[in-house]
Amino acid sequence: MKTFEEYVLKNLRLKNRIVLPPMDMYSADESGKANDFHYNHYTTRAIGGAGLIIVESTAVTTNGRISDNDLGIWNDEHIDKLSDIVNSVKKYGSAIAIQLNHGGRKYVGSSGEVLAPSAVAFDEKSKIPRELTKGDIKEIVLAFKAAAIRADKAGFDAIEIHGAHGYLIDEFLSPLSNVRTDEYGGSTENRTRFLKEILEAVSEVWPKEKTISLRVSAEDYKIGGITGEEMVKIINIVKPYIDIVHVSSGGLVPADIKAYPGYQIKLAELIKENCEIPTIAVGLITDINMVEEILSNERADLVALGRELLRNPYWVLNAAKTKGIDIDLPVQYKRAFQ
């Protein structure tokens, strides 16, 4: 079965096509350091057989968090704890990436100003953010660059730049949240400039042989917002700097999203076909047969199971047993899968 086939991208070698996507655990203290919960959480999914594990949204600045309980990578003190997680996950045969993020106007903590491309709040209950100056933009670009250096020092196999779900990069990309009149606003090319500058800076320090993923929201679900067709244009602008696109949707503004199993697969397929780049499909996927259909029909290259891997860390092992597929198992668990 395609689900259990090896996948190779640059020096990233996955034993199967199943991904644990980044999901915020809100379990750090205000220092932003990883702790025993994070170590156990990610190690368990590695023991459970996931091919790729992507560590949750990790902030490049203190006020780039979503909350004050998010993981951080804004200084060197974060490296050791992250490295412990990396080593443990690799010990059990999974590859590991980390998602680098700035929360932008969706930050709800107390460690600095709420910032955004424009002084436009997420909703009527949210703070009105301060519009970033060009100097601020340069500082955040450098923060992503420094975070990439730390991620490499921690031993991560790949990094994912978070350009989705209404956080800072996504706020620049969408005309619903970016009403700037300078070179960072207006046209698709201008709204993509911030993302492009981040990727250029990261590419200068991230090893050439290691993978860079980009998470995107390919649909805002609001008139005047991002659509799949515009996201294709955005991806094609930054394609020289990325290796794979992790395709999600929504999160920029409050919207009525009709979510159902596989509701974002068509967006992953659209980007894969029109940008000629590998994609990760995600979105309420739970069933091995659906995973196999996505992969076998080349609608995406990898499939991420979020909530399902929270409920069942051993989904990969159980799916292989159900389908009679012989895979490498933790020696301690073999008696349960014979």
Query: What pTM value is reported for the model?
Result: 0.97
Q: Name the residue among 64, 121, 111, 56 with its Cα closest to residue 82.
A: 56
Write the pLDDT tens digit of every residue in 80-126: 999 999 999 999 999 999 999 999 999 999 989 999 999 999 999 99
**For 67-91, how does the pLDDT look when each residue is reduced to its tens digit (9 = 90+)?**
999 999 999 999 999 999 999 999 9
3-state SS assignment for residue 163? strand
Of the candidates 260, 62, 271, the residue with the CA atom closest to the CA atom of residue 164: 271
Average pLDDT, the chain: 97
Query: How does DSSP assign 224-251, residue by residue?
Result: TS--HHHHHHHHHHHGGG-SEEEEE---
pLDDT at 316: 98
| pLDDT tens-digit map of 250-273 | 999 999 999 999 999 999 999 999
Please tell me the distance from the alpha carbon of residue 274 to that of residue 84, in angstroms, as a whole number: 39
pLDDT tens, residue by residue, 147-206: 999 999 999 999 999 999 999 999 999 999 999 999 999 999 999 999 999 999 999 999
Amino acid at 335: R
**Distance between CA atoms of residues 78 and 55, nearest Å:** 14
3-state SS of 79-121 is HHHHHHHHHHHHHCCCEEEEEEECCHHHCCCCCCCCEECCCCC
